[in-house]
Amino acid sequence: MNGVLLLNKPRGMTSHDCVMKLRRMLGTKKIGHTGTLDPDVDGVLPICIGSATKLVQFLTAKTKEYIGEVTIGYSTTTEDSSGEVLFEQPVVKNISKQEIDDIFASMLGTGIQIPPMYSAVKVNGKKLYEYARAGMEVERPQREVTIFELELLGEIQHIDGLVKFKFRIRGSKGIFIRTVALTIGEKLGYPAHMSDLTRIASGDFKLDNCVTLDEVESGDFKLLTISEALSDFSTVTVDNWVENLVRNGVKLRENQIFPQIKGEIFLIKGQDGTPLSIHEWSEKRQGYVSVRGLW
């Protein structure tokens, strides 16, 4: 069994839990997920199976899109609703749509995030949440992330000193939406946390195209082929001679690739449409070199 399964991950399970369950359901050990979703988060989780596990690094790098909810008025130890209350400050002013829109506009673009202590980011070989559970605080690595789109959804709710509203966000690989929610609160002058989150897209993979674990168990699912999973990649079809060079890991000359593609990774296919490898241009070697073989 080879291909990519678009799973609608349920809440209450880690991404690893889903992989373990799918291994039992599908009777194969060669399965990997393409980006961790917290247990309290549901939504799009592409799962690579069989030879498609070679795609994990490329599918992980895609942009992600979410619908989330932020609650203003108190923060938590985990930056989401599963943690213990950390700071409380009732919201005493009316927060307007214009104020939220202005804050969202100021957050667009590239900036620096510090991952939450309760996250799977590793420091000195240990995950941050392992330090957090042991009551230890360690210096967390900063990361550069980009927010491409951020918009308010629906009404702003003022309830008993709390303010809640939903938002849609599209961001780069590695962005923590919990931290985005925290930042929104800081810009409003109040503690905050992420109170709900669903991933609605991972690259071109949409929630509407995902299946549940129950559907997988009943056999009501279809795997994407490697070509379908990489449909947004530029593609070059080569003749049998060049295919032989690709399979043997030989650097390709400029005149062996048409159209010439520089500055991005791309997919090479054989004459029969078989995905062969992911290549890129190397200035150092002055030729096209393999990033990952797919046969």
Which is the catalytic residue, given 17, 38, 80, 232? Answer: 38
Peptide bond into 46 cis (omega under 30): no
How far, in Å, CA of 42 to CA of 215, rounded? 16
Phi, psi angle pair for 51, to nearest 5°: -65, -20
CA angle 169, 12, 166 (to 5 degrees): 25
SS3 per-residue string spanning 125-177: CEEHHHHHHCCCCCCCCCEEEEEEEEEEEEEEEEECCEEEEEEEEEECCCCCH
**Which residues are within 8 A (CB) of 24 and not within 5 positions of it... i.e. 6 or more apart?**
none
SS3 249: coil
38 is a catalytic site residue: yes
CA proximity to 250, closest of 212, 294, 285: 285
How far is it, in rounded angstroms, from Cα 56 to Cα 291? 13
**C-alpha neighbours within 13 Å on the C-beta side of residue 255:** 0
Residue 189 φ then ψ, to 5°: 90, 20
| Catalytic residue numbers, as ranges | 38
